[in-house]
Amino acid sequence: MSQYTIKDIARICGVGTSTVSRAINNVPGVNEKTREMILEAVKKYHYVPNNSAVNLKKSDSNNVLVLVKGRNNPFFQSMYSVFESELQKYDYTFVLREVGTYDDEMRVAQELIREKRLKGIIFLGGLMENPEKELRGIDIPYILCTVAVNEGDNEYSIVTIDDVKESMKAVEYLCRMGHRRIAMVTGLQNDNSIGYHRLMGYRKALEKYGIPYDESLVMHMESDLPDYSYENGYAVTKKLLERGKDFTALFAASDTTAFGAYRAILESGKRIPDDISVVGFDGIDMTNFMFPSLTTIRQPGEKLAAESVRILNDEIEEKITTQKTLFPAELIENESVKRI
Amino acid sequence: MSQYTIKDIARICGVGTSTVSRAINNVPGVNEKTREMILEAVKKYHYVPNNSAVNLKKSDSNNVLVLVKGRNNPFFQSMYSVFESELQKYDYTFVLREVGTYDDEMRVAQELIREKRLKGIIFLGGLMENPEKELRGIDIPYILCTVAVNEGDNEYSIVTIDDVKESMKAVEYLCRMGHRRIAMVTGLQNDNSIGYHRLMGYRKALEKYGIPYDESLVMHMESDLPDYSYENGYAVTKKLLERGKDFTALFAASDTTAFGAYRAILESGKRIPDDISVVGFDGIDMTNFMFPSLTTIRQPGEKLAAESVRILNDEIEEKITTQKTLFPAELIENESVKRI
């Protein structure tokens, strides 16, 4: 397969690209000797013009879009280099778009399909209440990666973890460590996405351990701050502490939220874990260097990204129609939980 | 301008895309009525085939590559959504590639120019000892964004801050706060990049305040850990503390490094800022939620990204040849420095 571009031929012949183009397309205005030299170079280097039929397939873009619901999310960002290198293996170009919590990612996807001639889309994060319905307008291969789905059907591919089960794991761990007054910081009030699923896991764990659910210990993120941000975790934990309700442990719906919670707790004069134990979710790098290091549920980010690319490629090559993969997450026991 | 693709025409006509293609290109094997219907749809929806002369320019990619030296760098990652939205304004597609510290980004750039038909490249971070020489192989418009340059010439565009001057600002601040035993965690031993420039700023500030340079207070990051990572900041600060040398302040070459240093300091039983004051560099989000919040030099990440895109576009449109912009950075006084 030819690797040479028109610029290479131009450089080799010491002429401009427009001269090469005119020579190839037999347009007048090129010196006969120059034309001969160019055509010889074209032959020698097996150069195939872009607009020729041979190149029609090649001239299609190989763009694969990773469409991220959420900006500056360290967990998602840690997956970017995996997406990139895995996409590269299949010769796709990694095109990235981060959209805000309130943006309509389907509209964005449809615009980009048209503008960027995408080969496929990986939807990263966010929520699809009813994927079959919402994804009706997406007429190229796609896959959902760690997208929360509330109504299942069989019309889409997905790679994710079980947010309910894994959150349950976190809260059951706190229960086993003797905690019964466990607070939670979760997503926005009207969140039906991972915040909701992780809250369900929390409730199920409490139920399993016979602990009554106390709504006053559950904090929803503020809608006027970016959700899952350090800032939001800080703000709502501060509010929770100011309520004066007694609790010995806090489960945060993300590590970034837990990070903000740390500051609120420490600022109030309480110690972690001596006064309040904290568990996060995601397992991002920084958790190991927090002080104390954060006990958390580690999502297998690399596997989620690599498997998404593999399945998407199989879809693009029409080897499969859809495929669903669920990965387990892992409880990482660090220093932020105390047995009481 | 036509917005319709061959897939749209195929859907409208209820046929496959290959049938549309055959009908348009007058290839046999299409039922005459079908052909008529397709050609009517083509006319009605102003569909322009990809391989037509009208579309030759359009079929060029609009890919602009942001080539990042360094993986998982929160400061760079906070700029991605700015690059993306600014590139979008000019109708470019944001293509991202992160490379490791030891990777040859010029080789990567040349591969991608060929594979992805790039319109331009933004080099983000890293070092070019001699940009004119190193960038000789890059025959499309490009710009350096926060790239350290040691030998200046006029052949490239750059948007950056003055690392020497801004580091000086950080260390002069510590001097003004009464500190004279100031340690530094900087880049790798053989780093000629921002680590080197920031070390120069440190030395100049000490000199200005008549403080002798003490090599035993300068720690270089470990070469077997990712540079500028939490982990590296932790490891080298721990080593520094174990040396038992007396110091009252630490200047870290990045906020992530300072974050790791926090853990090493706190773990050793010392307090911040009561025993050791800390100053970082970059001004990433998390610094405001560290405990204590980190005093740092805030780089104007959004401006750096937006200005890079603006200049690159001017280059692509041949409005300018090169342009250099230097932005000021800002000292953010937070809680991590104590006057002594």
DSSP of A138-155, one letter per residue?
A: --S-EEEES-EESS--SS
Write down the pLDDT at residue A170: 98
Using the Cβ of A259 and the Cβ atoms of chain B, whether some distance falls under 8 Å is answered with: yes
Q: Is 90 exceeded by the pLDDT of residue A255? A: yes
Query: In the Cβ-directed half-sphere of A45, how many Cα atoms lie within 13 Å?
Result: 19
Q: Is the pLDDT of residue A247 over 90?
A: yes
pLDDT at B60: 63
Which residue of B lies nearest to A137 if distances are taken between CA atoms? B8
Residue of A nearest to B293 (CA): A263
Q: HEC string of B98-156? A: EECCCCCHHHHHHHHHHHHCCCEEEEECCEECCHHHHHHHCCCCEEEECCEECCCCCCC
Please state, in angstroms and rounded to a whole number, the distance separating the CA atoms of residues B180 and A305.
48
SS3 A36: helix
Average pLDDT score over residue span A45-54: 55
Per CB-CB distance under 8 Å, the chain B contacts of A289 are 230-231, 233-234, 259-260, 262-263
Question: Which segment of A75-79, A183-187, A328-332, B100-104 scores lowest on mean pLDDT?
Answer: B100-104
Is A72 in Cβ contact with B81 (below 8 Å)?
yes
Report whether pLDDT(A80) > 70. yes
Q: B56 — contact with chain A (CB < 8 Å)?
A: yes
Per-residue pLDDT tens listing for chain B (340 residues): 345 777 778 878 888 777 777 787 666 677 888 888 888 888 777 776 644 433 334 446 789 999 999 888 899 999 999 999 999 899 898 999 999 888 888 888 988 888 788 999 999 998 887 777 888 888 899 999 998 887 666 678 999 999 999 999 999 999 999 999 999 999 988 887 888 999 999 999 999 999 999 999 999 999 999 989 999 999 999 999 999 999 999 999 999 999 999 999 999 999 999 999 999 999 999 999 999 999 999 999 999 999 999 999 999 999 988 899 999 999 999 999 999 9
Q: Rounded to an integer, what distance in angstroms lies between the CA atom of residue B143 and that of residue B109?
A: 12
B259 → closest Cβ in A63, A266, A286: A286
pLDDT at B266: 97
Partner A contacted by B263 (CB < 8 A): yes
Residue % of chain A over a pLDDT of 90: 61
Q: Do A263 and B290 touch (CB under 8 A)?
A: yes
Report the alpha-carbon distance of residue B229 to residue B254 in Å, rounded.
9
Using the predicted structure, report yes or no on whether residue A3 has a pLDDT greater than 70. Answer: no
pTM: 0.80
Name the closest residue on chain B to residue A92, using Cα atoms.
B116
The residue whose two tokens read 């709502």 is A236
Cis-peptide, bond into residue B292, ω within 30° of zero:
yes
- Across the interface, whether the CB atoms of A289 and B259 are under 8 A apart is answered yes
Min distance A59 CA to chain B CA atoms (Å): 7
User: What's the token pair of residue A164?
Assistant: 């309910």
Q: What are phi and psi of A326, to 5 degrees?
A: -115, 125
Handedness of CA B158, B160, B164, B165 (dihedral sign): positive
Distance CA A30, CA A180 (A): 86
Task: Please report the residues numbered 172 through 191 in chain A whose beta carbons come closer than 8 angstroms to any beta carbon of chain B.
Answer: none
Q: Which residues of B touch A139 (CB under 8 A)?
A: 7, 11
The Cα B176–Cα B185 span in angstroms is: 20
What's the pLDDT score for residue B1?
37
* Domains contained in chain A, CATH given: 6-55 (1.10.260.40), 63-161+301-327 (3.40.50.2300), 163-299 (3.40.50.2300)
3-state class (DSSP) for residue A166: helix
Is A231's Cβ below 8 Å from some Cβ in B?
Answer: yes
Distance in angstroms (rounded) separating the CA atoms of residues B190 and B120: 30
Nearest chain B alpha carbon to A284: B72
What pLDDT, in 10s, does the model give residues A177-222? 999 999 999 998 888 788 899 999 999 999 999 999 999 999 999 9
pLDDT (average), residues A144-151: 84
Of A97, A286, A291, the CB nearest to B267: A291
The verdict on A289 touching B (C-beta cutoff 8 Å) is yes
Tell me whether A139 touches chain B (CB under 8 Å). Answer: yes
What is the spatial distance between Cα B280 and Cα B287, in angstroms, rounded to a whole number?
9
